[in-house]
Amino acid sequence: MEFSVDGTILLVSFLLIIGVITAKFSSRLGLPSLVLFIVVGMVLSQYIYYDNAMLTQLIGTFALIVILFEGGLQTKWPDIKKVYKPSLSLATLGVLATTIVIGVAAKYILGVSWLEGFLFGAIVGSTDAAAVFAALGNKNIKRKLTSTLEAESGTNDPMAIFLTVSLLQLIQNPETNPDVLVFDFFWQMGIGLLLGLLFGKTAVWVINNINLDSSGLYPVLSIALAVFTFGITSLFEASGLLAVYIMAVLLGNHDMTYRHSIVRFNEGFAWMMQMLMFILLGLLVFPNQLLDVIWEGILLSIILMIVARPVGVFLSLMFAKYNVKEKLFISWAGLKGAVPIVLATYPMVAGLKDSGLIFNVVFFVVFTSALIQGATIAPLAKYFKFSKGAKAEVPHSLELISIGKTKNEMMEIQIEDEASIIGEEIKDLPLPDDTLISAVIRKDSLITPTGDTILRAGDTLYILVHKAKREEIKKIIRQKEESEAENEQEKS
């Protein structure tokens, strides 16, 4: 079916509207939105012929950059810092163990070679950042667990990509030296990490020091820096996705001009890319072909969910401080999504003999995994008593759009429970000159501050301050009661 330019634009607008409505209903139905996006694509495949694996891979890779960047921006380093060791273990050892277990199963169930079986395992071995961020983003589940899953999903893609590419290379060139592959692994991870840190620091400096004529250009600059980070890192044959995630985490945990504009823009952009990517992936699949692998897909899905993933998790967290219930929850919440399906296009682009079989089974496994596991994460968290009820959302946000060319900015900072300023009046705070507390958010109320306003724990302060005084303000607001007690003891 052919479309004119106007017809194609109308179709895209229709798909986006359908995507937004689908996302709305997905939360009510308790299903991951990506499942419904894929269903939309599969329905449209009955009317639109689409089989361009290379274009899907290109769009999918760009979408992953946007999704990982948005997820990294909203990742809180204090939370990730506590769980980065087990998360990295899950992202490496966990993916490898899952690959081996499901690879052995695929060899016998699909009747393929050992290398092709492990290739299948590598493709479905990682959890998906888009699926995990979407599934956990609106649920108030125990922070230790959500931080672990988010950090794992943000950092395990490089391992899955490395294994997929390496196994493809071994299938096509059996004479490949394994030592070279080991070196490639450490090169990709190490250089990806270093460049992520470098570009993260550079991005912080650029965004905070460049004076653009329009506030709307700052979000565009942020995503441009993310894509640039991926491109340059990939030129060094290192992991661009890892670099993007590290860069985004570093950027998101520093003071940033136009933070709200940048975060909101990338949140919307990530949603749009998810819709486009999953609908395209649905278009790439022909439902009648899935029927040919339905029993193989069901069996491999069961093995992946209740054997391979738990083996990977329990091995990875053998020496970590997680109890059995927490390990079981992490095992079940290892959602599959865009990454495995994008990786499944690699054998197709490479012209592998069994690429069609692998793609269809991967799609089926991912779809059923996301459908079953994604729909039951919340009930399982409630059953294990990991859920803390409704997630508290920040009811207000405040940002000045006219400060790009000035040396002042609006800081948003929350008063912690042990802060020494709790109970004090604003007029008694030792604030620097030319500093103004413009608003106080207390629960759902916006308070206009005066000198007599008494500060309470949990208050969010919006402070107009000179950029050079940001760290001084942080120390004043976040100073703990204990530090004062220690100072008194030292004096005595």
| Among 18-22, 169-173, 282-286, 318-322, the least confident range | 18-22
Q: What percent of the chain has pLDDT over 70?
A: 88
- Give yes or no: residues 424 and 379 share one domain: no
Confidence of residue 490 (pLDDT cuts 50, 70, 90): very low
What does the alpha-carbon distance between residue 369 and residue 335 come to, in Å, rounded to a whole number? 7
- Which of 133-137, 225-229, 423-427 holds the top average pLDDT? 225-229
- Give yes or no: residues 185 and 87 share one domain: yes
- Give yes or no: residues 161 and 110 share one domain: yes
What does the alpha-carbon distance between residue 364 and residue 120 come to, in Å, rounded to a whole number? 12
Give residue-wise pLDDT tens across range 232-262: 999 999 999 899 999 999 998 887 877 888 8
Domain boundary among 326, 348, 383: 383
Query: Mean pLDDT throughout 460-471?
Result: 82
- Give yes or no: residues 362 and 465 share one domain: no
- Give yes or no: residues 60 and 158 share one domain: yes
- Give yes or no: residues 342 and 245 share one domain: yes
Query: Mean pLDDT throughout 172-190?
Result: 86
Find out whether 67 and 245 touch, Cβ atoms under 8 Å: no
Residue-level pLDDT at 200 = 95
**Is the pLDDT assigned to residue 355 strictly greater than 60?**
yes
Residue-level pLDDT at 27 = 59
Confidence of residue 281 (pLDDT cuts 50, 70, 90): confident
DSSP 440-456: EEETTEEE---TTPBP-
CATH number for the domain harbouring residue 416: 3.30.70.1450
Query: Mean pLDDT throughout 401-421?
Result: 72
- Which of 45-49, 145-149, 254-258 holds the top average pLDDT? 145-149
Query: Mean pLDDT throughout 318-346?
Result: 87
- Give yes or no: residues 216 and 332 share one domain: yes
Confidence of residue 485 (pLDDT cuts 50, 70, 90): very low
Confidence of residue 133 (pLDDT cuts 50, 70, 90): low
Residue-level pLDDT at 95 = 93
**Is the pLDDT assigned to residue 398 strictly greater than 70?**
no
Give residue-wise pLDDT tens across range 425-456: 888 888 888 888 888 888 778 888 888 888 88
Number of domains the chain is built from? 2
CATH number for the domain harbouring residue 105: 1.20.1530.20
Find out whether 259 and 399 touch, Cβ atoms under 8 Å: yes
Four-residue CA torsion sign, 121, 123, 124, 128: positive
Containing domain of residue 453, as a range?
A: 408-491
Residue-level pLDDT at 205 = 92
**Is the pLDDT assigned to residue 103 strictly greater than 90?**
yes
The neighbour count for residue 478, using CB atoms within 10 Å, is 15
Q: Using alpha carbons only, what angle is made at residue 415 by residues 411 and 420, rounded to the nearest 5 degrees?
A: 120
* Segment (H or E) for 462: strand 460-466
**Is the pLDDT assigned to residue 143 strictly greater than 90?**
no
**DSSP β-bridge partners for residue 437:** 463
The neighbour count for residue 397, using CB atoms within 10 Å, is 14
Residue-level pLDDT at 134 = 65
For 63, counting Cβ atoms within 10 Å of its Cβ (0-12 exposed, 13-18 middle, 19+ buried), the class is buried
Find out whether 151 and 84 touch, Cβ atoms under 8 Å: yes
Q: Which residue has the higher pLDDT, 3 or 477?
A: 477
Confidence of residue 31 (pLDDT cuts 50, 70, 90): low
DSSP three-state, residue 437: strand
In single-letter form, the type of residue at position 343 comes to L
Residue-level pLDDT at 244 = 94
Q: H helices then E strands: how many in the chain?
A: 22, 4
Residue-level pLDDT at 285 = 80
The neighbour count for residue 154, using CB atoms within 10 Å, is 27
Query: Mean pLDDT throughout 108-121?
Result: 93
**Is the pLDDT assigned to residue 491 strictly greater than 50?**
no
Percent helix / strand / coil, the chain, rounded to 5: 70, 5, 25
- Give yes or no: residues 431 and 331 share one domain: no
**Is the pLDDT assigned to residue 483 strictly greater than 60?**
no
Residue-level pLDDT at 484 = 45
**DSSP β-bridge partners for residue 439:** 462
- Give yes or no: residues 221 and 362 share one domain: yes
Confidence of residue 130 (pLDDT cuts 50, 70, 90): low
259-274: buried (b, 16+ CB within 10 Å) or exposed (e) per residue?
Answer: bebbbebbeebbbebb
Domain-located, residue 399: no
Q: What percent of the chain has pLDDT over 90?
A: 25
* Strands, sheet with 436-442, edge to edge from the N-terminal-most edge strand: 408-414, 460-466, 436-442, 445-447
- Give yes or no: residues 378 and 425 share one domain: no
Residue-level pLDDT at 330 = 92
Residues 6+ apart with CB under 8 A from 120: 102, 103, 106, 110, 112, 358, 361, 362
What does the alpha-carbon distance between residue 70 and residue 226 come to, in Å, rounded to a whole number? 10
- Give yes or no: residues 349 and 469 share one domain: no
Domain-located, residue 393: no
Site of tokens 């250009």:
217
The two tokens of residue 401 are 């759009």
- Give yes or no: residues 277 and 140 share one domain: yes
DSSP three-state, residue 361: helix
pTM of the model: 0.79
Residue-level pLDDT at 51 = 78
| Among 87-91, 188-192, 341-345, the least confident range | 341-345
Domain-located, residue 390: no
Closest CA to 160 of 337, 349, 340: 340
Give residue-wise pLDDT tens across range 55-69: 888 888 898 899 889
